[in-house]
Amino acid sequence: MTGDVNRQPMLLAADQTASADREPLSYRIVEAVADAEGVDPTDIEPPTHDALYDVVNPEALDSLFAPREDGSTRTQGQVAFEFCGYDVVVHSDGQVDLSR
């Protein structure tokens, strides 16, 4: 990602709580991009876009920010990558920031 000062956050997804019934973080990233594009999440797939697994390992991302074995939540950290033309920043609390 570049340090372009003109980049503006486009979408802030709701933060993720330590709930087993929540969607995986990797799917929430796809949903956030689909919302920003005004399309269905199934449209954010090949052949029109790279799949998420082409840029980051979704299972590793999901487990990186999963609650600890004792059930406590992760309080620090973030991962940044490009996906579908967006700079994506995923925070340990589950917040997903998109910018172009």
Binned at pLDDT 50, 70 and 90, residue 92 comes out as confident
Nearest CA to 79 out of 66, 98, 92 is that of 92
Give the pLDDT confidence score for residue 47 in this predicted structure: 67
Q: Which three-class secondary structure state does DSSP give residue 19?
A: coil
Whether residue 10 has pLDDT greater than 70: no
Higher local confidence (pLDDT), 86 or 46: 86
Higher local confidence (pLDDT), 60 or 49: 60
Higher local confidence (pLDDT), 48 or 31: 31
